[in-house]
Structure 1
Amino acid sequence: MAARSEPRRGGGGGGRRGACAKLLCVWSVCSALSAAYLLYLPLPSALSEPLKLMVVAAAFRGVSQAADIGQSLGLVHHIRLINTVVTGFESLVPLDYEHIQTEDTEFSGVQVRVYQPSVNTQDGLRGAVVFFHGGGWSLGAPKLGSYDLLCKKMASELKAVVVTVDYRMAPDVRFPVQFEDCLQASRFFLQSEVLQLYSVDPQRVAVCGDSAGGNLAAAVAQQIGRDNSTAGKFKLQVLIYPVLQALDFNTASYQQNQKIPILYRELMAHYWLEYLGADPELVHLLLLNNHTAHDQELADPHRAKLDWTRVLPKDVTKHYKPVIPATGSPGILQRVPGLLDVRAAPLLADLEALRSAPRAYIMTGEHDVLRDDGLMYVRRLQQAGVSVTSRHYEDGFHGCVSFAFWPSYFAVGIRAVDDYIAWLRDHL
């Protein structure tokens, strides 16, 4: 009996082991396919280091998918989870520039960090830069990692005071709070007694920002430029791949780069709705440009400001055509008034407001959905008589400036940072 039962036990164990082996094989294949799916993303060869960008994009997509699952289960708002991961990643970036002093304080109730060279090697007063970080008005750790190093690098190489504004973010607050935080902090810093406290020349202050921070920098520069109650003004503005409008999600660059990481077309629309406190279900209507269809009540001046077929040259727009539906979805512009508010969409400002804006440096990347936002703003500022330096990177992608430091170096990010700091050094 024992002799006959042993084979049966052995056969059963072998069957279980065989089943486990099959399951392990299936799991391995599925994992490999999932990894391949996440990693594989056809990218233009002209992009800076496309294989490395694939890995970064895969990590970002994985975190985003986990965050979406967490929100669908009612566990956590997806932005909070993503921000937790971003903060953890940024904490890996090593500290540097030990000769730069930092001070965490408040400007008119807004949290800021002030960077200063330990030794003032300049005679007399110094220049200054007010910096607003990007992240879709909802993500980012301005006092950690890459942004911290970027501000230290600016302070070191410009021998200037740098103020990074830790403005409140969505989903805790919505527009116009982010704008108002940046405006309040800027007004406070531009007061003569505050500039004197930091040994800053009132004629040598710039405002700078990347992505959503570029949006805030452009809007704040416009507001301060035309505000007669603010004695201090910005001399310069540096806008790094800024997001400037939400009326056309089908510009040539949106069409060309809609699937290029790390800022996808649909993701940008989601950021806008989050910022403006609007129904996220509107995202697909925005992507169709239903809010600016021919039958919608959009003023002709606004349409003209966004007519990229006239503003941008053919070598930029290529073969892409405008997307303006004949019939749209009524009421979107009324339900989401921020879409037409120049504090949220600086590209919509009139020429009078633009004339008061400071001299500009605007950086754009060929492989960025926001490329045309920046290039259209270049033209609009020039039409208003504002001096503009337009710096375009044929291998550039959105977010590359944040990848100028360890552990995610990209050559185009390093070049972009060095170039705009060099411009500031020459003109500040």
Structure 2
Amino acid sequence: MAVLWLLLLAALPIFFLGVFLQAVWEHWRTTRIPAALQHPARFRALHCILLYAMAVGNIFEKLRICSMPRFVRFLQDKLTIKKNPEVVVTDLRFGTIPVRLFQPKASTSSPRRGILFYHGGGAVFGSLDSYHNLCSFLARETDSVVLSVGYRLLPEHHYPVIFTDCLNASIHFLKALKTYGVDPSKVVACGESVGGGMVALIMQALVGRTDLPQIRAQVLIYPMVQAINFQLPSFQQNQNVPFLPLDFMITCACKYLAIDLSWKEAMLKGACIPPGFWKKYRKWLSSDNLPRRFRSKVQQPETLAPFNEAAYLETKHIFDVENAPIIADDEVIAQLPEAFLVSCEMDILRDDTLLYKKRLEDQGVRVTWYHVEDGFHGCVVLFDKKFFSFPCSVSLAHAVVSYIKGI
């Protein structure tokens, strides 16, 4: 028996080495590294590590040890959290929702600016811990009180949990601004990726609320604002670019919206989009609305597959405003606060940002646009990760700080 255990222990490193080599092979087989990317070797290494973590997580899931997302989040959370002596950090709960409060330690004679922050991660990854350093940085550099919302995630929780958690936490914070020393006229909502989409949704949900302080500005960092048109140029151009390839993105969307994965192909081809809907909303969702330089002749034009009613019935909640803030009524859009929109050239969600920018501007909303030519999805959270940081990560983090300080 002892010999058997020794053999098993000796085999484990070989097994995990094989899993890692498989992850490396998967990276080289499926991944496209854009020519404009700085430090491609660093980028490849980081992506291989992520693929390896997901592969090990899938093994653990099959062994019923834990789910893959939970395992990857565990590894993310074990990354070193930098303690900032200039910021006081407090973990709280608003009902069942965990939140983390970041307050500058220096005394002040007047109320500070407040920042509501919603992290990214595609409803699968991300947490209060993995975005701790970014929130601490925002609190220190902008001299603001930052509230980070730890909304519930997949696989245990589905639509509309992220939205309701973020909305409820935001309302709770807005009602207690004086408690946290925040100036009610200087509250900013900020989010990254799916968190950026939450900013859009929450700003719309709060329109007309006279019982709450008005949000001063919104910061949307490469947000997801629709899951309807998957044929935009950025989806074609960046479909195999880490860290949000097209297949992973639509898988996350389906799981969060409780859509069977067998309908992915119909969603990609637009077979679930009713002709009447496309005729009405094409003016907001089509690549025709993108600046000319983002409409490459290399990409295929948008051509919807024949309408499939069964696909529509199984996926019809993607057409709800709560999942596609870009199709909100003009009257709602026109009442939104000024916005700072971030897009990255090598990001599958680049065109989502550009379409939402036009949507806001067409209704008279003031928009400041920051486009990162060498940026990729998820880059901002790497701003302080030393070897795994990128120039675009640092410049983007400072651009957000500069905008917020100017409010």
Say whether the fold is shared (TM-score over 0.5).
Answer: yes
Measure, in 1, the Cα distance between the counterparts of 2:66 and 2:148. 28
Counterpart selection for 1:127 from 106, 109, 113: 113
Counterpart of 1:211 in structure 2 is 193
Counterpart of 1:290 in structure 2 is 271
- Report the residue type matching 1:214 in the other structure: G
Q: Please give the residue correspondences for 1:14-413 in structure 2 after superposition, counting only pairs within 5 Å.
A: 34=22, 37-38=25-26, 40=28, 41-71=31-61, 76-87=66-77, 91-121=78-108, 123-142=109-128, 144-145=129-130, 147-191=131-175, 194-224=176-206, 226-292=207-273, 296=275, 298=277, 300-309=279-288, 311-319=289-297, 320-407=299-386, 408-413=388-393
State which drifts further: 127-136 or 400-409: 400-409
Measure, in 2, the Cα distance between the counterparts of 1:296 and 1:202. 45
Counterpart of 1:12 in structure 2 is none
CA shift for structure 1 position 32:
9.7
- Report the residue type matching 1:425 in the other structure: K
Instruction: Map Cα deviations across residues 370-427 of structure 1 (whole Å, 9 max, x no partner).
Output: 0000010000000011000110011000000011112421111011001111110011
Verify the 8 A CA contact 1:79 1:138 in the aligned structure 2. yes
Instruction: Map Cα deviations across residues 10-63 of structure 1 (whole Å, 9 max, x no partner).
Output: xxxxxxxxxxxxxxxxx9x98997475245344122113222111111112222
CA shift for structure 1 position 254:
0.3
C-alpha spacing 1:327/1:71, structure 2 compared with 1 (3 Å) = farther
Structure-1-length-normalised TM-score: 0.85
Verify the 8 A CA contact 1:235 1:359 in the aligned structure 2. yes
Measure, in 2, the Cα distance between the counterparts of 1:188 and 1:92. 30
Measure, in 2, the Cα distance between the counterparts of 1:97 and 1:74. 38
CA shift for structure 1 position 322:
3.0
Alignment size in residue pairs? 389
Verify the 8 A CA contact 1:400 1:412 in the aligned structure 2. yes
Measure, in 2, the Cα distance between the counterparts of 1:153 and 1:92. 16
CA shift for structure 1 position 65:
3.1
Verify the 8 A CA contact 1:183 1:220 in the aligned structure 2. yes
Measure, in 2, the Cα distance between the counterparts of 1:33 and 1:78. 19
C-alpha spacing 1:389/1:32, structure 2 compared with 1 (3 Å) = closer
Counterpart of 1:425 in structure 2 is 405
Aligned residues with identical type, % of pairs: 30
SS of the equivalent of 2:244 reads: coil
- Report the residue type matching 1:65 in the other structure: A
What 5-or-longer segments of structure 2 have no aligned partner?
A: 1-14
SS of the equivalent of 2:125 reads: coil
CA shift for structure 1 position 82:
2.6
Measure, in 1, the Cα distance between the counterparts of 2:270 and 2:52. 28
Structure-2-length-normalised TM-score: 0.89
Verify the 8 A CA contact 1:93 1:406 in the aligned structure 2. no
Verify the 8 A CA contact 2:272 2:315 in the aligned structure 1. no
CA shift for structure 1 position 75:
5.4
Instruction: Map Cα deviations across residues 60-94 of structure 1 (whole Å, 9 max, x no partner).
Output: 2222333345445665433223323323xxx2324
What 5-or-longer segments of structure 1 have no aligned partner?
A: 1-26
Measure, in 2, the Cα distance between the counterparts of 1:426 and 1:68. 45
CA RMSD of aligned residues (A): 2.3
